Structure 1
Amino acid sequence: MQFEYINHNVLDNLFYIIVSILIFFVIYDNVQRLKKYKQILLTAFMGWQIILCMKFPIYIDQYCVHDLRQIPLFIGTLYGGWPTGAALLIILLTSRFAIYGFNFLTLMVYIVIFLVTAVFSTKFNRFNKKKKLLTSALITFILEVITTYMAVAMSDVFKVTEAYIFYFIIVPPLVVFLSVYLLELLMDTIRVRSNMVKLEKMEVVSQLAASISHEVRNPLTVVKGFIELLKDPELSQEKKEQYIEHVARELNNAEAIISDYLAFAKPATEKVETIIVEQEMKNIIEILRPWANMKSVNIKERLVHGTVLGNANYFRQCFLNIMKNGIEAMPNGGELQIATILNKNDFIIKVSDTGVGMNKEQINRYGEPYYSSKEKGTGLGSMVAVKTIQTMRGKLEIESAPDEGTTITVFLPIYLEKKVEAKIILETEFLRP
């Protein structure tokens, strides 16, 4: 019966140590502002372990009561250095003397443990994982043997029993080994995840750089060719003007690509203004109408008055990209429908085409860096659109199926200069769901 009781208390001590380590890492990893207070956090959790171990001790016999309080002191000093170790030593001795009363032997034993571990901690933190595991267990074993000899030498009543040897010379190095392994595993997990985030960011940048490089090189190659042609002294004035017009157009294309990249990388949020949606949409439609006519695309519109807050330049660019994509999705002609709907909370903008449509994968990857359903597309236009809508605290929804066209619905918060009742406009039959 006594053996079961001893085992139960040993498991309790192990439970407090392991769970405290896990909770420490959960808080350290998820509460960003606490990361700069790592030593204070470590001291708090290791100190709590020390108190719990002493409150629920291991009974070897009626004259001998021990616990695993030295293990949090080992771990805290090894990883936090002497400042953390000193704080933990104070917590340990204060709690020990408050619970059991003052004992000179206890004072000497834990001062020795602290001093040896503090000296060793500087080298310990420079070791690799394997070396940390082996040396931490070894130093714990050596310290347990040294303190046992101290106890025997300084106390006439202290006895070294088989139970003592097992629980306080053999078990502690194993528990320290397990604790160090758990700590290193959790720290490796945090480091790997941090590196993965950095790699993902670098991957996005490299993809954007590749797309920019590819797209800008095309217009620059054209410009270079026309400049060579302009060197011909016998070139007519009409041809010169024609070539210069081509050069200007290609340079504008290159500028637009770079602007798309900058809009995605750092969207302009400093200039927030009132945007009259009806007016802006009409301007965009008028810009696109000649090109749509060339593509045999009929633009049909139904616009209502309303205002939203945002950057007007990026608002235009956003919907210019969406409508342009809709026209390009109808290579054999079709109809582009633009409608705005006002309700109590949102200004809804719908852009529908009768084009080639998108499958589920294309819908899910809409706005993803370096992804485009078009053969020569870079995906920059859709990236800018998605980023702009997010910046304006809106959301974007896509309804589409292959060969059935696409409807893009954008919800933006209404901006009302005066508190007026919002007018609800119902969709008409010409708008497809």
Structure 2
Amino acid sequence: MIYIKDFILHLFFILFPILLYHSITFYRNEIINESMQKMYLFISCSISSIMCMLFPIFVHAGVNFDLRGIPIIIAILYGGYLYGFFTIVVLLLFRLLIGGYDGIISTFIATPLYTILPAFLYPYWADFNKKIKFVASFFIISIKFLALYFVIYFGHSFLQFQYNHLFEDFRYAILLGVFSFITIVLAIFLLEYFLDIAAIQRQVQKTKRLSMVSSLAASVAHEIRTPLTVVKGFSQLLGTEQNKSNKEFVPIILHELDRTEEIVQNFLNLANNKVSEMKSISSIELIDSSIEALTTYSSNSKVPIDCFHEKNYRLKGDFAPLCEALINILKNSIDAVSNPHGKVTVKCFMKNKNVIIQVKDNGVGMTSEQIERLGEPAYNLIEKGTGLGLMTAFSIIYAHGGDIQFKSKINKGTVVTISIPGYKKGA
């Protein structure tokens, strides 16, 4: 039973870097950007693969195997094509360094075979729930098992490999499959758990910032509004004078005062975004009202808004604030579109007892660093904007027990996913 000890050692090689990374970032209270996360994943997966090769699992004389493929699969699913490819290159180079004709040929043949499915699943992996990910892991390990069997059989039959006893007794093959499946499930479980914690941590920090700004906004807005009203009144009186040299400046003054008043109103909206009364809201009515409010703005910007309702759903919330939040998000999407064929698309569907509203544009897109800063005070990506609209949207959605996520690619566009607790409308 010495192979149990070796298996536990392999578990340590693969899982310890994940635990170490989470411990460092969590206790330092830092949120690492996406590029650094993937770089760390590449380094840890490369080291894990090398350690697995250096210390294989011995069953008995002539029968040994290792779990070097698990870190490769993890690197592709969570790091993407680039960092997954780098991890494979490190694995192959180290295998060349170790030497051994059979091992080199089998590694170079088997690795591309069992990484095809993870590479295919990567674009959809983040959208899968945990159950689907565990089921997908079973198929990934099954393909890895078949690839290994094929390479051993092919190598022994055609490439003069030394006889490998791993598949001589089917119990050993089952042992390899069970060990591999247990390891990848544990690794995925830990990664998903820590990703959920990181998401909650980001939301808590953002909520704290919004709370601080909201309390400040109320006092600032009320202090500014009174003198603004006085200045606007006297400016209107100035417009009635006969002196033309004075009158030509009046429209400019009034325009800037209106703009300032709009900013003050945004501050007040941010300060007064508490849910007053939770009612049953129609998803169709909410979306259509928000789009209708932006009809003129959309037309002037020459950016059409297309809407697709899967069905009518009921949300639990306050209609006016939710409508305001959706208007702010739609307005940002319109502003992000600069190409002549630009458009904004709105979809609504049900997922896990939540009503999902997706707003998609084909605009300029954002980097991961820009996405992380969305909703921060005084941060905006539009020259004429203040960032208050998106802050208000974040605050309103969080107040409804919902969530908002952004996915974006530079020069490709952005998808905003709003999730609000709700239920499907009955017959």
What TM-score, normalized to structure 2? 0.46
What TM-score, normalized to structure 1? 0.46
Instruction: Tell me: higher relative CO, structure 1 or 2? Use CA pairs within 8 A at least 6 residues apart.
Output: 2
